[in-house]
């Protein structure tokens, strides 16, 4: 298939793309036209259907996969498609993975590894809570496996939330081993739950965008609420344990300026914050140096998240 | 009664004080002694009971009002009481208001004024929510009326939470009148609920200190949870309305650095933030210039909350 | 009339626009051409007159309203007009309000409301000062009514300074009512005067740009000077009152980083700062959600002034 | 004479000190006593006169030089004088310089050097302005020579304002020589005027404290106003020159956070800022390493103004 | 032995302490006296020898262990010893470990563990460098084992530098295992070398204070120089490898504001920064909650390094 | 010659330019093409050679001066050359100074002035060090004279490093004269050496870009190392003098956030910081107001380095 990032002015494109947005508007002459956004895993492009009544233009909706024929033009410095044909693509004629960035790791294997780590949690209350979410709630598990950990930035792909969560859990296991004064069960459980709010902060793929609730409340507050509601169904769950687990969620961004309403006040919250940040930053770094840099030398331009020019290590 | 802030070295004090803390320890010679903290509305003082077995020392517990006889000494530059007599004070022999700072306004009148404002909320869902907390929940109402809005800083007295909440509600009424694009019902309700988490973030008077949950989660997260749990019992409460109300709570500190995990994204959240901040700062200012300043001139020394030297206006 | 924000590449435009800037330059071939900027209330556009000697090109000056005929082209990604005809437009053939953004409120009515508030100031010195500026100084009143409160950002339209000033005065009235320890006369007068420096910090419409003095000194220092000069003509005006009024002007941005050389040290200065900021931010919010957002959903993109994504409230 | 910084507990002190503050109060037994603050050039000490009616206690006022006899006691960890005798000291029996920190340089010589620099200003308008303040206004010159440049921090002594101003002027002369695109006349005049507001921001010695106007407006706004008023009396003084000179005053702190309402927008304002900061910081450094450091090694403890531990250079 | 932190006013102390500082001064009556600072592993105390000529006072020097007899007094709110006898203590009569805070872990075992990790470095150049410092340089190894990682803050005890270095190396091993795109040899070597400059930034125990070079240059610049000098003696050490290793040292504080002149630009530098910070913060947390907190509840007061109130986790 | 900044769409360009970068790539049709960057002293432009095999295309390499013939096109809003002919230009047919921005001052004269200042350093050790670098090391002197002081920002031209260094040395001479407690020899030597690391932090002209070492270590660490290595060859150079000189280099950016790992702790380091900053900022200002501003008025748009709008002074 022809990927959007390779489109060039004046080409004719035919192929199937995911229709992310669709809207109609009136032109200056009073004629209705459609404005759509097409997406594949390499990016987005705007398209216009000027002649809605023409033969090639069939019914389709936002969030459909559509076959199109279009000319690539330039408008205000950006590429734009002039669409002459469009119709809903039949299932089986396209491969979803071409439209969604996806983890390079095996999702089921990562899930098994996560479950393996959670099984070692021996506190019965935390064990019950872990089972409730990560084993018994089939709908949650399905969404958790498929979600990204971010719209952009890092782990912004199918399986990204699972990959990031597993990375944090594994780091926390090492930390708990080495700093024995930490409570292992609390730390591992907090690691597993720290970003579960993201399942509802971001919409499903292929959309993968902030939801209304995500923008208004954020995954920290949403994650706390998920835990609070769950614990009500677990008789005998100690109040102080619930509060400590929520604190780890509340404080895991480490600083007010990164959206944590409390700074880490428990050692496990502090450790979780570092593990989360380390996994996120090392993935950000990896993604940044994986981008093809072209002929301009080995240094990657200034990376905003890492606040530095960076480059691959030479050995 | 003799207030703690007037104690001087070498005096003998007799009177009734609130015992805020009590603990026993071993002296270097292996003898047990008691270490206590006494409180009245003007401050705290440490006390030691070196001879626990002597005749004047009777049974008493932390959080009792106690009659004491003691010498005022100085230890490490601070006053300390050497207690020779102590016993639980009989009810009726002391006046609770001597031990608790209290609002200068009438609590019941403020409460009526608040209810009056809430009755004007016409959205039926918000009306039901307001009634559930501020009218029907007798236990909550009792605690809400008695609570402070802070340990120190501003409104740190009995009735302070009500006084501050009412101040914010009244400001929001004016704002809603003047900026007509705002949703009045949402704004007034958010104003009433913005600090309800403080009922559980701070313990009751005379203690008035941060609770464990208050330190770990804070009143923003706790307030959201209270609303979330209540809404579950109100059939038909719109999801988006719940979310918007919670957002006003979440964002009311206005900035990440003041502990809001989200910045105001709705106009009502923005207005609430300003009303909250204005009421708090004008009360802080009033308290600061009410402190007797002595003979050093009309300027009050640097005020940390207001980040400036300040003075009363001269007319 | 055809508004500038609706221009599209390759169109031919005929109509009257305000000529904001005009300059001549030499092309590479040594031929003189003119470079102008045209404005209406929806925006600006650059224009070039390549053939100054042709028949359609008549005399005109910067700050004239001009009739033009032109082709819309694109240069370096921005629209540009290729002008083939231009002449000064006759008065009466255009409507100034098409070229100037204007308050949606009635200017005379707002002015009467402001005067009404000022009449309630009972301190004779402040009363005299208010009258001197807002009633007796006809030239000042005319400019004050017509000015914007900003080049961009908020209230950037004819009548904007009056609308903002009135908003702040009305908020301060409520605040003075509710926080009775404040000095009402000082607060209302300070509210009326807080931005008068803007009359000279920004040039008149349709230009509405920073003046040289505005850039070098700013409206805070300029406003202080205006008050200082006026008070010299008011016998018996108390020194300390002048100083306190000036302090309210000096401190009304609230923070050093927003250009106030002093932080609020009087309660009235603090109250004024909040009223000013609240009115400005609620207007900024209103303007931002009034912008047509298109088909991409209800959220407005990141707003720099408000430092957040924002959206209209849904009820 | 016995300096205050050498007082020790239990000593008896007799001698003459400057009475900075005086107030009377009631003791707990209802008896009137006096509370005073004594000062010499090494510091301040509190004193109490418990027996106002005793023979040794004569009439005296705040701001008098007084002879006292007193015991040194300790109260709340600070030294305090128990005064048994006090009377106004006769002129001639004390040396004002013992009570005022004074510049180590000759004031008249510094003044001549300053005048010498100002005479080289050739712009007739600036020349006239310089003469008006620094030559013709005898009262101003007297106060300018005697003033400090600060309450504490740096140049906090008699002649300090002159010494600092001269230091800045001389640095600006070098800078103007070396960076020839700068306007020498504007830069030198701005350097001479940059801190003149301090003559009224700080009270005269021996008080040397912030005035009410100083706290409310600050020396930047006050300096601008002084220039504005003076220029009115200089016919033909160009508006743009006045504005540029004022801008140099307005921007000389260099950053909003240091109280400049504008950042330097002219090269002369930028140069002035650096010269001012450099002279202030090098004097701060000199004063800090001149303090006797004792036996704890050559490093001086953390200096807050310089934000570092510092030490004398070893050669 | 009687530890300094248990001293109380009016006690008589006899015992051996480390003399950290010694100086002589003149009293007001012109008599010479000595001022010393005594230290054990629990703290410091000032002492005065008023009567230098008395029989009990023998010769001794700074940095000696001395036997003393003294009365505990209070001066300016702090304890002070009035020393009547002092003499150099004979070796064998005191135990150095009573005077030095020491790691709770076995130093030789930690060293073996570190060497074990370094042996797994397979790059021959890095292997040679590791061997040069951590095996062959006997003097360096001895100092490295004995040094602290800080004057205060965390790991401020004998063996602290080794304990911290080992902690960082072990974390980096895990990180290298999990994030396979990292260069393991570079990361482990950088972890071992990251704080070697501290061997010269801080003086040896029992002094453990900043050296002159430490204050002027800091351990980052000093560590780079140590590596640069060593590499000169290792033929064929690749330039780019040296530069990358130094970069890891240079950037390991992660932010300019913590004294790194460069931000991490290599993934190994980023990983090292997190491992260093995590080990330091978890040790800081552990030390803070190990401090006996007394009867005021389980929360530890505000911890400046962690920027929060903290408490032990309750399970 | 035709400068790059004057290129316009659709022109045909013939002339000689410096080839800064060159790379080959495959087009979508699998055909190889070349992508190059051409440079002259006014800027850069991308060029494409689509038909590598055509007659006009000869052999050439990166860093060659090349003669080209090309059409100017626009791609993604930027100019791009469509190159039809290219060959290596013969020496003598172009003037290097057209391709390199160069100091407006005479390099040899500036060098003589610098040497003159260094000769006045009387400390024999510092004298020897100065001679070693600035006189005896012919290769260093040649590079030092030719280097810029920055890639962009200020003094970004041939001779810029020398011009900036001389400016700082001359300012330091004045400062040493006026603040006599400073050590003149140390200050002047530190001024001469403060940026020598830039000789290796930036590559030679015409490239003038950050080197790998420059990005990883920076000129502060590199400058320290250069001094450290040199001092080893100067017998008897005092340790403390070396350390103090290095400290001046280490601290000369003045703040952590500008990349100094230490704040100035010696007065000479503080003075050097101000002299460096002043020279850099006044040059930045000069360059900014030298840029032709066009017809939009005398104000220059917001300058990021100076953090302000700026303008030329009007006299």
Tens-place pLDDT, residues B127-156: 999 999 999 999 999 999 999 998 877 898
Nearest to E148 by CA among E280, E261, E250, E44: E280
For residue B29, is pLDDT > 80?
no
Q: Can you tell me the mean pLDDT for E151-173?
A: 93
DSSP 8-state assignment for residue B104: S
Q: What is the pLDDT of residues E241-285, one digit of tens each?
A: 999 999 999 999 999 999 999 999 999 999 999 999 999 999 999
CB atoms near residue C93 (< 10 Å): 9
D chain contacts of residue B8, beta-carbon cutoff 8 Å: 28
- Select from A6, A295, A299 the Cβ nearest to the Cβ of F28: A6
According to DSSP, the β-strands at A308-311 and D78-88 are unpaired
Q: Are the Cβ atoms of F299 and C21 closer than 8 angstroms?
A: no
As to burial, measured by CB atoms within 10 angstroms (0-12 exposed, 13-18 middle, 19+ buried), residue A163 is: buried
- Is residue E118 within 8 Å of residue E192, measured between CB atoms? yes
For residue F300, name the pLDDT band (cuts at 50, 70, 90). Answer: confident
Q: State whether residue B49 is helix, strand or coil.
A: strand
Nearest Cα of chain E lies from the Cα of D283 at a distance, in angstroms, of: 21
Instruction: Provide the residue count of chain E.
Output: 315
Residue pair D98/D1 in contact by the 8 Å Cβ criterion: yes
Residue D50: what are its φ and ψ, rounded to 5°?
-75, -30
- Angle in degrees, CA A270, A275, A279, rounded to 5: 150
CB pairs under 8 A between B and E: 17
What percent of chain B has pLDDT above 90?
Answer: 66
Kindly report the three-state secondary structure assignment for every residue of C37-96: EEEECCEEEEEEECCCCCCCECCCCCCCEEEEEEEEEEECCEEEEEEEEEEECCCCCCCH
Residue-wise pLDDT for F149-159, tens only, equals 988 778 989 99
CB-closest option in C167, C171, C264 to B308: C264
| HSE-CB for D268 with a 13 A CA cutoff | 30
Identify which of A152, A151, A174, A155 has the alpha carbon closest to the alpha carbon of residue A163: A155
Residues of B in contact with C307 (CB under 8 A): 263
Nearest CA in chain C to B268: C313
Q: What is the CA radius of gyration of chain E?
A: 23
- pLDDT at residue D75, rounded to an integer: 78
What is the reported pLDDT for C291? 63
CB atoms closer than 10 angstroms to residue F7 = 17
pLDDT of residue C10: 87
C-alpha span between A79 and B249 (Å, rounded) = 43
**Total count of residues recorded for chain B:** 315
D235: left (phi over 0), alpha (psi -120 to 50) or beta: beta
Q: H-type helices in E120-159, by residue range?
A: 124-131, 138-146
Distances (CA, A) of B271 to A119, B185, B261, B276, C277: 48, 13, 17, 9, 11
Name the token pair of B142: 């009792």
- Copy the structure tokens of residue C217: 């000194």
Mean pLDDT along residues B195-216: 91
Q: Do residues D126 and D228 lie in contact, with contact meaning Cβ atoms separated by under 8 Å?
A: no
CB contact under 8 A, D274 and F281: yes
Using an 8 Å Cβ cutoff, are F220 and E260 in contact? no
Burial B32-52 (b: 16+ CB within 10 A, else e): eebbbbbbbbeeebebbbeee
Cis peptide before B38 (omega within 30 of 0): no
Residue bearing tokens 């080197």:
F211
Residue scoring higher pLDDT (B255 or B28): B255
Chain D CB contacts of E212 under 8 Å are: 299
pLDDT value at residue E67: 95
* Residue A292 confidence (pLDDT) above 80: no
Residues contacting E174, CB < 8 A, separation 6+: A171, A174
pTM: 0.89
What does DSSP assign to residue A90?
A: P
- How near does any CA of chain F get to the CA of A268, in Å? 31
Gap from E124 CA to chain D (nearest CA, Å): 42
**Could you read off the pLDDT of B265-291 as tens digits, one per residue?**
999 999 999 999 999 999 999 988 886
Q: Please give the helix or strand (H or E) that residue F228 lies within, else none.
A: helix F218-231
Q: Helix (H, G, I), strand (E, B), or coil: what is residue F205? A: coil
How close does chain B come to A267, measured CA to CA in Å?
Answer: 12
Q: How much is the mean pLDDT over chain E?
A: 91
Arithmetic mean of pLDDT, E121-150: 96
Collapsed DSSP state (helix, strand, coil) of residue E70: strand
Is the CA virtual torsion F130, F135, F139, F142 positive or negative? positive
Query: How many other CB atoms are there within 10 angstroms of residue C41's CB atom?
Result: 18
Buried b (16+ CB within 10 A) or exposed e, F189-209: bbbbbbbbbbbbbbeebbbbe
pLDDT of residue B292: 54
Q: Is C29 exposed, middle or buried (0-12, 13-18, 19+ CB in 10 A)?
A: exposed
pLDDT value of position A295 = 37
Give me the tens of pLDDT residue by residue for chain D, a chain 315 residues long: 899 988 988 899 999 999 988 888 776 666 788 989 998 888 889 999 998 888 889 899 888 999 999 999 887 667 899 999 999 999 899 988 888 888 989 999 999 999 999 999 999 999 999 999 999 999 999 999 999 998 877 898 999 999 999 999 999 999 999 999 999 999 999 999 999 999 999 988 888 889 999 999 999 999 999 999 999 999 999 999 999 999 999 999 999 999 999 999 999 999 999 999 999 999 999 988 886 544 334 788 788 889 999 989 987
Residues with Cβ within 8 Å of residue D132, at least 6 apart in sequence: D230, D233, D234
The tokens for F160 are 């810029």
Query: Using omega within 30 degrees of 0 as the cis cutoff, is the peptide bond preceding D167 cis?
Result: no
Judge contact between B174 and B186, C-beta under 8 A: no
Q: Find chain C residues with C-beta within 8 A of F8's C-beta.
A: 28
The mean pLDDT of E308-314, rounded to a whole number, is 90
Question: Which of A137-141, E95-99, F289-293 has the lowest average pLDDT?
Answer: F289-293
pLDDT higher than threshold 90 for residue F89: yes
For residue F224, the model assigns a pLDDT of 97
Q: Which pLDDT belongs to residue A99?
A: 87
The alpha carbon of D99 is separated from its chain's Cα centroid by a whole number of angstroms, namely 14
Q: What is the pLDDT of residues E33-59, one digit of tens each?
A: 898 999 888 888 999 998 888 888 989
Smallest Cβ–Cβ distance between C257 and the set D218, D246, D257 belongs to D257
Ranges of residues in chain C whose predicted pLDDT is under 70? 27-30, 76-77, 291-297
Separation in Å, CA of F217 to nearest CA in chain A:
13
Evaluate if residue A178 carries a pLDDT over 90.
yes
pLDDT digits (tens, 9 = 90+) for B99-127: 888 898 999 999 999 999 999 999 999 99
Which chains form contacts with chain F, at 3 or more CB pairs under 8 Å?
Answer: A, C, D, E
Q: What's the average model confidence in pLDDT over B256-265? A: 94
Pairing status of strand C12-26 against strand C32-40: antiparallel
DSSP state of A153: S
Contact indicator for B105, B155 with CB cutoff of 8 Å? no
Kindly determine whether residue E243 and residue F215, on different chains, have CB atoms separated by under 8 Å: no
Closest partner CB to C35 (pick from F74, F77, F295): F295
CA distances to F99, F102, F104, F200 from F96, rounded to whole Å, are 5, 10, 15, 22
Q: Token digits for A304?
A: 């905003």
Q: List residues in chain A touching B: CB distance below 8 A.
A: 212-213, 215-218, 220-221, 224-225, 228-229, 240, 243-244, 246-247, 250, 256-262, 265-266
3-state secondary structure of C201: helix
Spell out which residues of chain C touch residue F311, defining contact as CB-CB under 8 Å: 215
Calculate the alpha carbon distances from E80 to D80, E23, E44, E45, E71 in Å: 21, 15, 10, 6, 8
Residues E115 and A230: their CA atoms lie apart, in Å, by 48
User: What does pLDDT average to over chain D?
Assistant: 91
What tokens appear for E1 in the block? 């032995």
Per DSSP, the residues of E36-67 read EEEEETTEEEEEEES-TTSTTB----TT-EEE
């Amino acid at each position: 298939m022809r990927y959007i990032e390779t489109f060039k002015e004046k080409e004719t494109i035919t192929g199937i793309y995911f229709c992310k947005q669709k809207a109609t508007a009136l032109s200056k002459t009073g004629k209705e036209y459609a404005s759509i956004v097409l997406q594949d895993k390499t990016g987005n492009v705007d398209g216009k259907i000027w002649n809605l009544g023409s033969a090639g233009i069939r019914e389709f909706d936002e969030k459909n996969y559509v076959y199109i024929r279009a000319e690539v033009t330039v408008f205000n410095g950006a590429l734009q498609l002039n669409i002459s044909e469009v119709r809903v693509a039949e299932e089986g004629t396209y491969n979803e993975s071409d439209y969604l960035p996806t983890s390079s790791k095996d999702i089921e294997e990562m899930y098994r590894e996560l479950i393996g780590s959670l099984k070692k949690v021996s506190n019965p209350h935390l064990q019950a809570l872990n089972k409730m979410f990560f084993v018994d709630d089939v709908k949650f598990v399905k969404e958790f496996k498929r979600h990204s950990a971010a719209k952009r930035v890092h782990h912004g792909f199918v399986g990204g939330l699972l990959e990031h969560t597993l990375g944090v859990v594994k780091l926390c296991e090492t930390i708990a081993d080495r700093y024995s004064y930490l409570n292992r069960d609390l730390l591992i459980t907090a690691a597993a739950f720290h970003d579960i709010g993201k399942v509802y902060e971001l919409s499903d793929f292929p959309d993968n965008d902030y939801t209304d609730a995500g923008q208004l409340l954020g995954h920290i507050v949403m994650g706390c609420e998920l835990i609070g509601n769950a614990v009500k169904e677990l008789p005998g769950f100690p109040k102080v344990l619930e509060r400590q687990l929520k604190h780890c969620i509340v404080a895991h961004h480490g600083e007010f300026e990164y959206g944590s309403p409390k700074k880490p006040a428990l050692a496990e919250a502090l450790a979780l914050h570092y593990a989360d940040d380390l996994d996120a930053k090392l993935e950000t770094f990896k993604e940044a140096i994986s981008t093809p840099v072209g002929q301009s030398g080995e240094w990657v331009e200034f990376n905003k998240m890492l606040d530095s020019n960076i480059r691959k290590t030479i050995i």
